[in-house]
Structures are given as C-alpha cells and as structure tokens.
Amino acid sequence: MKTSALPALPADRADAIETAVFARIADERDRRRRRRRGVWTSVGAAATVVVVAAIVGPALGTSSGVSGSSTVAGAADSASEGATTDQSAQGFAGSEAGSAPVAPDQSGAGARSDASSSTAAAGREIVATGSSTVAVDDIGDAVRVIGDAATAAGGYVESSQLGDGGVAMPLDAATSGATPSSGWITVRVPADALASAMDGLGAVGEVTATSVTRSDVTDQAIDLRARVAAGEASVARLTELMAQAGSVSDLIAAESALAERQAQLDSDRQILQSLSSQVAMSTLTVQLTARAASVAADPAGFGDGLAAGWNGLVATLNGVVIGLGFLLPWIAVAGIVAAVVWGVRRFVRRRRAARAD
C-alpha cells in the first residue's frame, strides 16, 4: 500500500501553531503558580491565626484570672456552682438544696478582709531577704548580741552555728573555753525592721559585705486567697449536700469529693500562711568571721640590721652545707659511673688501634 506524503505547512502556519503551543504552556505555568500562591497564602493565614491565638489567649486568661481573684464573692459563687454541677453528675441531680446560698466561714472571711486591708495599705506584698558578712573579735559573743537584737525588734533566731576549721561546734562552746573561728546566724525580723537590723550590725563588728533581695509575691498571694475562698465555699456546699444525700452511694461519693476538696483547701491555706509569714517577717543571714589581728610596725636600727645580716649569713652557709651533704652521695655515684664509662671507651679505642696496626 502506497502512503501519500503529508502536505507541507506554510511558514506562517507553523509560526502560528508554535505560538499557540507556547501560549498554552505559559498559561499552565501561570495556573500552577497561582495555585501555589493560594496554598502558601492559606498556610500563612492559618499560622498567623495560631500565633495570634497563642499570644492573645494567655493574656486574656491572665486578665480574667486577676479580675476573678480580685472579686472573692464571685469566685465563691462560681465554686459553689461547680460543686453543685459535680455532685449532680454523681447522683445529686434530684437534690433541692441547691437553691439556698451558703455563706462561707465567718472567721475565714474576717481573716481574708484583714489580709486584704493590709495588702491594700501596703500596696504590694514583698518578700525581703538580707545577708551580711561581719568580721568580729569574739564570734560567740557576736552571735548572742545579734540574736538578742532580733528578739528585741520583735523577731526570733531561726538557726545559728559556730565552727572551728570547718568543724561544727555547739553554741555553748565559747563558755567552755573553746574559741570558734567562724559562725553564722539566721534571724527573722519584722519587714519594716530589716533595714535597722542590718544597720545595727556595724556596732557588732566590721561589715565587709551586705546584700538585700526583694521578691514581689502580690499576684501569688491574691491567687491563693481566691483559691482559699473558693475552696471554703465548695467545702460548705458539699457538707450541705452530704446532709441531704438520699442513698449510701451518694453519701460515699459526697464524702470522697469532700475529702479531696478539704485536702486541697488545707494545702492552699498552708501555702498562704507560709507566704504571709515570709512577707511579714524578713530573713537576715549573718556570716561571722574572726577579725585578723593587726601587726604593729617595729622600727629597727643598725644593730638589728647587723644581727639580721649575720643570721642570714649563718642560715645561708647552713643551707649550703646541707645542700652539699645532700649532693655528695649523688656526686659519688655519678663519679663511679663516669669512671666505668671512661674505662670502657678506652678499652674499645685500644682494641681498634691494635686491629688497625
């Protein structure tokens, strides 16, 4: 079978076809680029939303936490509602005691109002800690003086120790004749008396170093007070619901929830009490060292200089004699070794000369 040849295309037709092909390729590239840009734009927008949420979310949570902690009554009401919801989930949905509000303990409310008034008066709650290093003549007496001064200022001695060459000594060692070479004492004084207590250390001895560290715990104290108030309201609510339990299982569930809330409340109260104690009573640690005895200058004359020179000469000669005595055995051994080496070398040379002849 004979195949017919294809007709030849004109040059302008070939150019048109080529232009159309390249135009389609360019359009396809543009579509791919637009799709890629759309994908990257969506990814960037999603990342922006995540970043904004991560930045704004904690700020909103902090602000809501501060506002909630500043309103103790609102926190108590919300805790009561939370306790009611928990007990409803455990089988107290049919209880009708949830309509009556429960007032927290009056003693706790009074303590919170007093603490809040003191906080408002002070503005901020600061934990101050001071430390000093004092050089004294008598370390045992200095420990007693510092402890008495702290007690007179309304504080107390938290801990103290005496030592001699790194070995701990009892506090009554000074009365038994032992002389301590170092010691330290830690006292607690009222916060407003910390500066005067540190200034009074100059009368005990020479203050060689001192520092004061202050930490603001206002936000932590506010949060703890709100948690204590919410815990008290929740415990009171659970106690009331226990009295209205309709079955043994409901009573057991209420007792378990009450024990958990009571344990958390006791823990928060202990932490708040410790924090309040640190704010009210500052800590001062004093490191005591023995003062170095001063050496008085003793001017010397010609005779003293002559005597010192003679003593130096005698000491030098004595050192030379001792050095010679020390080196003499080594010199003898070295001489023997040198003689043996010299004899061997001479014998070898003689044999070589005899062979050569």
Residue 107 has pLDDT above 60, yes or no: no
Domain boundary, last residue among 268, 293, 318 = 293
Is 147 found in the same domain as 38?
A: no
- Answer with the residue of higher pLDDT: 268 or 120: 268
Check whether 84 has a pLDDT greater than 70.
no
Is 81 found in the same domain as 54? Answer: no
Determine the Cα–Cα distance for residues 104 and 108; give it in Å rounded to an integer.
7
97 lies in a domain? yes
Residues 28 and 172 in one domain: no
The whole-number pLDDT of residue 117 equals: 39
Instruction: Decide which of 322 and 41 is more confident.
Output: 322
**The predicted structure's pLDDT at residue 32:** 74
Residue 115 and residue 39 share a domain = no
Query: Is the same domain home to 82 and 48?
Result: no
Q: Does pLDDT of 18 surpass 70? A: no
pLDDT for position 284: 92
Q: Do 106 and 244 lie in a common domain?
A: yes
How high is the pLDDT of residue 15? 67
Please tell me whether residues 119 and 248 are part of one structural domain. Answer: yes
12 half-sphere exposure, CB direction, 13 A CA radius? 0
C-alpha 141/C-alpha 148 separation (Å) is 11
The two structure tokens encoding residue 248: 């043994």
Q: Does residue 205 lie within any of the structural domains?
A: yes
Q: Could you tell me if residue 310 is inside a domain?
A: no
Enumerate the β-bridge partners of residue 353.
none
Q: How confident is the model at residue 101 (pLDDT cuts 50, 70, 90)?
A: very low
DSSP H helices in 200-247: 218-243
Where a domain ends, among 293, 311, 335?
293
Residue 80 reports pLDDT greater than 50: no
Distance of CA 34 to the CA centre of its chain: 53
Indicate the range of 106-115, 141-150, 184-193 predicted with least confidence: 106-115
Q: Are residues 64 and 78 in the same domain?
A: no
Q: What is the pLDDT of residues 271-289, one digit of tens each?
A: 999 989 889 999 999 999 8
* Residue 225 scores a pLDDT above 60: yes
Number of folded domains that form the chain: 2
The last residue of one of the domains, among 293, 319, 336, is 293
Segment among 55-69, 89-103, 140-154 with least mean pLDDT: 89-103
* Average pLDDT for 8-32: 69
What local confidence, expressed as pLDDT, does residue 163 receive?
Answer: 75
Taking the chain, what is the end-to-end CA distance rounded to the nearest angstrom?
A: 117
- 16 within a domain of the structure (yes/no): no
Domain match, 158 and 54 both: no
Give pLDDT, residue 104: 36
Range with lowest mean pLDDT among 179-183, 191-195, 350-354: 179-183
- Is 127 contained in some domain? yes
Between residues 8 and 110, the one the model is more confident about:
8
Mean pLDDT in residue range 299-327: 85
Which among 285, 286, 282 is positioned nearest to 155, based on CA atoms? Answer: 282
Q: Is residue 206 part of a domain?
A: yes
63 and 162 fall within a common domain: no
Q: Based on the fold, state whether residues 44 and 126 are members of the same structural domain.
A: no
In a domain, 85, yes or no: yes
- Residue 331: C-alpha distances to residues 182, 318, 319, 321 (Å): 52, 19, 18, 15
- What's residue 266's pLDDT? 92
pLDDT at 295 over 50: yes
Q: Pairing relation of β-strands 167-169 and 281-290?
A: unpaired
Q: Do both 166 and 177 map to the same domain?
A: yes
Which structural domain, as residue segments, surrounds residue 36? Answer: 21-70
Predicted confidence at residue 54, as pLDDT, reads 57
Examine residue 146 and state whether it is found in any structural domain, yes or no: yes
**Bridge partners for 162 per DSSP:** 169, 183
| Residue 130 CA, distance from chain mean position | 17
The predicted structure's pLDDT at residue 45: 65
**pLDDT bucket at 48, cuts 50 / 70 / 90:** low
Mean residue pLDDT across the chain: 73
